[in-house]
Amino acid sequence: MKTNSDTKTEITFDDFKAEVINDYKLAVTSRECSLLGRREVLTGKAKFGIFGDGKEVPQIAWAKAFENGDFRSGYYRDQTFMMAIGELTIQQFFAGLYANTDLKDEPMSAGRQMGGHFATHSLDENGNWKDLTAQKNSSADISPTAGQMPRLLGLAQASKIYRNVNGIDTTNFSNKGNEVAWGTIGNASTSEGLFFETINAAGVLQVPMIISVWDDEYGISVHAKHQTTKENISEILKGFQRDKKNNGYEIFRVNGWNYPELIDTYQRAAQVSRKEHVPVLIHVNELTQPQGHSTSGSHERYKNQERLAWEAEYDCNVQMRNWVISNNIATNEELTAIERDIKKAVREGKKAAWSAFIKPIINESSEAITLLKSLAQSSSNGVFINKLINDLAAIDEPLRRDILSATRKALRYVVTENTPQKVTLQNWINNYIKTIQPKYSSHLHSSSEHNALHQNEVKPSYDSDAQDVDGRIVLRENFDAIFNKFPEALIFGEDAGYIGDVNQGLEGLQEKYGELRVSDTGIREATILGQGIGMAMRGLRPIAEIQYLDYIMYALQIMSDDLATVQYRTKGRQKAPLIVRTRGHRLEGIWHSGSQMGGILNLIRGVHVLVPRSMTKAAGFYNTLLESDEPALVVECLNGYRLKEKLPNNIGEFKTPIGIVETIREGEDITLVSYGSTLRLVEQAAKELLEVGIDAEIIDVQSLLPFDLNHDIVKSIAKTNRVMVIDEDVKGGASAYILDQILNEQSAFQYLDSQPKTLAAQPHRPAYGTDGDYFSKPSVEDIFEAIYDVMHELSPIDFPKLR
């Protein structure tokens, strides 16, 4: 069931009546799903519920204005809209509630997100783009409030790029930039900074973006008087209203229970935004939330009787029902019959969803019980195994956790036995985990042929008389080649456009490629990331520049919650191959030291983290990434732009491999592992160590995520029998991560003759000035002495104590 989006065609009164009745059926269906969904949570079949009750009618009006090619970036109340565009059935609604891991049954996320989080499939099963212009699109939701706003900006900006930049192959992605990006947000979440940042950025960029604010006066239990100045978001945003002299927004206000006015409002909003590329705010007032915020509690705890009575009267479904009757479209009896049939259909859909979810698990449980019974009969500890069998069999509707818990515990009772039944159970458990684990853990990265790890290395080549140039020149020439080769590539950030970035890596490129492809932005890191995510979701190849690594903290939530999880939370059916360009390391001062790698590594799994030591290496990473379909963070060395490098003759073609380390100095006594700017200090220390008879091998990590896929570091340690990780992050940060990889993933402990060491920065931000840097981060002397101390412990006679 879905609504008719062709509201422009003249229709007969009978057709009009049929459309209205169909819309009412949608509203009632969605409401019944919410009501029954809550009961499923309270009875324990589902873990948590957060529903769209009270927002049904405005979402139906919205769906009528939503066209093929458009994109939604919403939040967890939009179930009616998804039903109205034909992308959510009753059974799929409940499959999401039960966390069904089969993508065919639960196409939103295969059970990886709680119910209420919606997505459509932008990719086929092989990771290739579908024709996004031939379908209605929803970018995958995230729970953090207002977190959907930055991505919305990018989804809208893509239309502007497609409409105004020549040379891009728009097949599958755009019809002359006519697509609108639609966002939804609750009134309370408009208090978030991400909302205001997005509002401002969209007004500046003038993109086709329409935001619906669902206003029910509360944020969980907190009233609007504590949320919003004047208790009215459209009132305080009036200054954004465009006029004859200034660009800005169109702002509409409409009551959420008024069916005909809602349809008219959304049609007008869509027309102006789609045609003129103007951002629009629709403030949908006087909405209700009949079941409260979620299944965690009742709204009767914080709403007084007067408010509850008003909500009962002005419930949008109730008001639509009254309107239908008063306009002689249907009688009370006819609507009652419709409602009765819908209740039955929703119950049947719920039963079908539960059956599809539970039957495979019951079969798996039966299989496990059969194996356990066989094991019990062959074991002297059969009585204990039988208890596990009885406990598992007593669970009418088991979970996979119950199955694995019972079978794994059973092995403890036969640990000293050697029977075919034990071997059979061991094999079954191993195969079961191998089969089931991917249902919950697959697709952190791309599974397509375009995966970044499938890109082969192409080394830079040089003419015999290759110039020594500033590192920034290598970058600039490479970006020039990129923009010439990939019309869909673009870069944007603070100072990235007119002056060619603060380090001149983009010098002259805005003049050559235009302001839309090489552009300046405001100081707003979160929405810079959001621009990139949204445009990447629509087939463009954006490079979002964050001026310094320190400033990525403003965008880290978006990188972590949204960008890093796109592939995972859609089980490979959406992607956002955004490249985030920044620079860090070894500048001076608290806010420009750029080495908070430990936090980044822990928070953005799903994004490649690349730390090139030179601009040639960085350029190679950009070339690799643009041939792949995965997101990455590239951290250039801030103090390397003016250092001399040879200019390759295969600019734009050479590729730095991802996940591969490089040995930049061979040695026999100790393996030194580092990356980025610190490597230059390590190299200097290694030269000085040679003077006292210590021959160090130096390995450049190059890629932190993923890390040393070929396990080359352990091969070095097998030769030197010693290892030290040197890093400018704080102790326990990136150096601890690297050492964990070396010891636990590569099993290097078996080759060590000395304690593995890390050398990191002091546990505070670096102090300002050259001396501040010297006393805050590892210096050449620190590195020399730390390595010397390792050798002193090995041979005090050959290496007497220094101090």
Rg from Cα positions in the chain = 30
- Residue 706: CB partners within 8 Å, gap ≥ 6? 453, 608, 658, 659
Backbone angles phi, psi at 637, to 5 degrees: -80, 115
Residues paired with residue 210 on neighbouring β-strands, in sequence order: 182, 280
User: What does the alpha-carbon distance between residue 500 and residue 517 come to, in Å, rounded to a whole number?
Assistant: 12
Instruction: Let me know: does 165 contact 487? Beta carbons within 8 Å.
Output: yes
Residue type (1 letter), 770: T
Residue with tokens 């990939």: 486
- Which one, of 145, 139, 153, 142, lies nearest residue 528 by Cα? 153
- Residue 711: CB partners within 8 Å, gap ≥ 6? 745, 746
Residue with tokens 């082969």: 456
User: What does the alpha-carbon distance between residue 201 and residue 360 come to, in Å, rounded to a whole number?
Assistant: 48
Angle at 656 between CA 650 and CA 657, to 5 degrees: 140
Residue 741: DSSP 8-state: I
Residue 138: DSSP 8-state: E
**Listing from the earlier edge strand, what are the strands of the sheet with 181-186?**
137-138, 71-73, 181-186, 209-214, 280-285, 250-255
Instruction: Let me know: does 802 contact 692? Beta carbons within 8 Å.
Output: no
Residues paired with residue 761 on neighbouring β-strands, in sequence order: 730
User: What does the alpha-carbon distance between residue 435 and residue 372 come to, in Å, rounded to a whole number?
Assistant: 19
Coil, helix or strand for 312? helix
Residue with tokens 């980044």: 600
CA atoms 414, 417, 419, 424: torsion sign: positive
Instruction: Let me know: does 799 contact 792? Beta carbons within 8 Å.
Output: yes
Which of 743-748's residues contact partners 24+ apart within 8 Å by CB, and which partners?
Answer: 745/707, 745/711, 746/708, 746/711, 746/713, 746/714, 747/714, 748/713, 748/714, 748/717, 748/718, 748/723
User: What does the alpha-carbon distance between residue 491 and residue 496 come to, in Å, rounded to a whole number?
Assistant: 8
Q: Active-site residue 592, yes or no?
A: yes
Instruction: Let me know: does 673 contact 738? Beta carbons within 8 Å.
Output: yes
- Which one, of 151, 118, 156, 141, lies nearest residue 280 by Cα? 156
Instruction: Let me know: does 254 contact 282? Beta carbons within 8 Å.
Output: yes
Backbone angles phi, psi at 738, to 5 degrees: -65, -45
- Residue 489: CB partners within 8 Å, gap ≥ 6? 482, 483, 517, 540, 541, 542, 543, 626
How far is Cα of residue 426 from the mean position of the Cα atoms in its chain? Answer: 37
Catalytic residue among 283, 299, 443, 592, which? 592
CA count, 13 A, side-chain hemisphere, 756? 23
Active centre residues (catalytic): 592
